[in-house]
Structure 1
């Protein structure tokens, strides 16, 4: 982690919004009208997917991908004006919420303003043409941050000035797309200069799957590990354990193997590390699609919130939307309310605000029953235990609790411990003692 990362980020919930598909209008003003609901849910940080004009050359789909950016220093007129965006920032701040924006610094669109003005800032293939290092990203061209670029310093300065521009507009931080593909030295300089504008600036890195890092390095492409990225960032994606989660769900590895990838985070990362814990995001299947069973969805969602780190909700997840909005088309979030499920999410966010999640020692306990996850926090004289029945096991489960009655913080119901055992149910359980 950056040395000055605030561990209270572990108590917070981030809410991700794709402005185009968040409402019929697809505007900043429409997002403003939804702020009270998002605030009531419990989210403290808003993350907007890219807000800039979308490149039209080689675009994907009808409307193009927001990650193929035409101009870093403008807002997409389809979303509104710069003044509308500033209004959104101010309205979020009035509600004690922070707002961060997406930064896509590995590449731009083919017809970007930056390419038109500074083609020398871009990566060149052996034949001298522009292109990209990842084959299926056909709508973008890569930038060249290397020291071999004669314009390297000028280019780095330009990119950092853009970040400073948005910080001065009022954004509270940046989610940095495929951050490991941009030199860590660049991010260190950017962080230092942004801190001079806002000492509490939030830096979130979209880190990448270990298998992707491996394939890029084999191809001779710079790809930083999560451990390296933590040098400049406050938060990193949890893709190092999301990939094993998918392997477990596909039946390729056992539950304990997957959990081991989470356990090792406690000693391979800095002590103040903050992971962004998620079951879904704009690049991955909806949680409700991944877990069609309500029982499985509830248990995995509760465990995801229980883990050490900041929690992510992708707009619509709180209503159990199973459709992942298309990045390239108008494809609205399904706002048909699942009241009981949104209240469940709200309760998990409330529980997460307990300071034990930020300051406590976290441990995923060796399973006492195959198919059940048990994890705990210890801080001062308090303990928090979570039990998640992810494989629908029945019977008794041994716990390190004195006999008696306890309250499940999730649903408020009593749980009896008798002879140091509880009777397993299909619902997730969180107890403080």
Structure 2
């Protein structure tokens, strides 16, 4: 099917609707290059039955496009240095391989989102010779690079031809490859008018696409349904590194989640490809509290939790950004049960609700989230020693399910807790 969009980027006459499936989705980031020794689409497909069993419903693939050679960094270059927006990196496979991947995932009830680099491209991108006007130049006529990213050059977002070419390239992946959405790299560097127009036109082809932004600021929610939880990442890293009091964590949750707008979904994570390569694994950054933070993000309202592929192993090594490495997969990754339980919990959970914070000793974070007859109670020990205490939980009475102990707990507005450092509990009904 040949698909072409008539461009009218400012023709916005109706608000966007959040996809019905989105609030309880589970995102899984895929780094094809480092996922397997082969680093290919076909090698990754062998993991789909396992991911389906895990409960993953949405896979976000880091850029799958061919990578620029000119001014390349490292031996393989950055995934975000795109040479051709309408093709697949030959190191990963072919367009036919990718289409088979999409079909395989759809048959399993899974959705596929691709990374989209809309702000810059490779020095030898196919458009450079054909349409140099698509790119910004300095007073000397030379192409400009954003920031210190000298392996890429900056698009000229005021050029209508560039906007149309970019939109047509996005339409190719929706029409020809049947993808289910986009993760927009540095989305705030691209005019929101472009994203809004692109979403309107692309959803005329395929409704309920997923729109995930990696962006600073809340203006991006005018077009995107999910934005990176940068505040979550920065706060939790500082919380652990500086050993802040739990009161600071409670204040953060109140301001960032309890008082957030109704459509402000955040992608929460304890690791991404950037964090792993640049700062280290979640175990380097969070230590023994890594899993407690993972559980916490599943219990927060308006959160879209993400697993970075390999966290279920668990992966304890940094993966290079510009060169080849790979994850070592055992027959059954050790944290399969942990993530499977969390994803199962999420599927029967709820997106919003009200949060309350029972009084607790310092080091112990406890919060309850309620919505009608449903309720969840999260507790974790972020202190340095075991905490054994009884917590008053007003309004919480009856039988609850302990997610990880896999048994029932009876509460009568009081909860007995004994947790070692890094220990956690998640009750629900």
Does the TM-score normalized on the shorter chain lie above 0.5?
Answer: yes
Greater strand share, structure number: 2
Aligned-partner Cα distance in 2 for 1:72–1:373: 46
Residue 360 of structure 2 is matched in structure 1 by: 368
Equivalent runs, 1:219-298 vs 2, <5 Å? 225=217, 227-251=218-242, 253-266=244-257, 269-285=260-276, 286-293=281-288, 296-298=289-291
Aligned to 2:212: 204
Listed one character per residue, the Cα deviations across residues 50-103 of structure 1 (whole Å, up to 9, x for unaligned) are 111110111111111111111111111111111110000000000000001110
Which residue of structure 2 aligns with residue 428 of structure 1?
A: 424
Partner residue in 2 for 1:163: 170
Residue 340 and residue 78 in structure 1: after superposition, are their counterparts in 2 closer, same or farther (change >3 A)? closer
In the alignment, what sits opposite 2:126? Answer: 113
Q: Deviations over 1:164-188 (max 9, x none)?
A: 1110020000111000111111110
CA offsets 1:140-191 (integer angstroms, 9 cap, x no match): 1111213xxxxx2222111111111110020000111000111111110011
In structure 2, C-alpha distance between the alignment counterparts of 1:269 and 1:187, rounded to whole Å: 23
The TM-score normalised by the length of structure 1 is: 0.87
Runs of 4+ in 1 over 4 A off after TM superposition: 337-340, 401-406, 414-419
Corresponding residue to 1:181 among 185, 189, 194: 189
Looking at structure 2, the residues matched to 414 and 258 of structure 1 have their Cα atoms a distance apart, in angstroms, of: 28
Pick closer, same or farther for the CA change 1:54–1:403 going to 2, 3 Å: closer
Deviations 1:196-246 (A, max 9, x none): 1111111110124xxxxxxxxxxxxxxxx2x20011011111002211222
Work out which of the residue numbers 384, 391, 402 in structure 2 matches 1:408: 402
Query: Quick one: structure 1 residues 99 and 115, their matched pair in 2 at CA, closer, same or farther if it must change by over 3 Å?
Result: same
2:246–2:382 Cα contact (<8 Å) kept: no
Structure 1, gaps ≥5 residues long: 147-151, 209-224
Q: Output the CA distance in 1 between the equivalents of 2:99 and 2:74.
A: 29
SS in 2 for 1:357: coil
Correspondences of 1:382-421 after superposition (within 5 Å): 382-391=374-383, 392-400=385-393, 406-415=400-409, 417=411, 420-421=414-415
Across the two proteins, how many residue pairs are aligned to each other? 405
Give the equivalent residue in structure 2 for 1:311: 305
Deviation at 1:383, TM superposition (A): 1.6
What is the deviation of 1:270?
3.3
**Matching residue of 1:326:** 320
Tell me which residue corresponds to 1:347. 341
> Conserved in 1, the CA contact under 8 Å of 2:19 and 2:210?
no
Query: What per-residue deviation string (whole Å, max 9, x for no partner) do you get for residues 31-51 of structure 1?
Result: 211110111111000111111
Q: Does 1:70 align with 2:64?
A: no
Q: Structure 1 residue 259: deviation in Å?
A: 4.2
State the secondary structure of the residue aligned to 1:410. Answer: coil
Partner residue in 1 for 2:44: 31
Secondary structure of the equivalent of 2:273?
coil
**Residue 149 of structure 1: aligned partner:** none
CA distance in 1 between counterparts of 2:410 and 2:372 reads: 25
Match of 2:6 in 1: none
Counting only pairs closer than 5 Å after superposition, residues 9-28 of structure 1 correspond to structure 2 as 9-28=22-41
Contact 2:358/2:392, CA 8 A, preserved across alignment: no
Secondary structure of 2:206's counterpart equals coil
Structure 2 unmatched ranges of 5 or more = 1-14
CA distance in 2, matches of 1:419, 1:77: 60
Tell me the SS of whatever aligns to 2:86. coil
Equivalence for 1:212: none
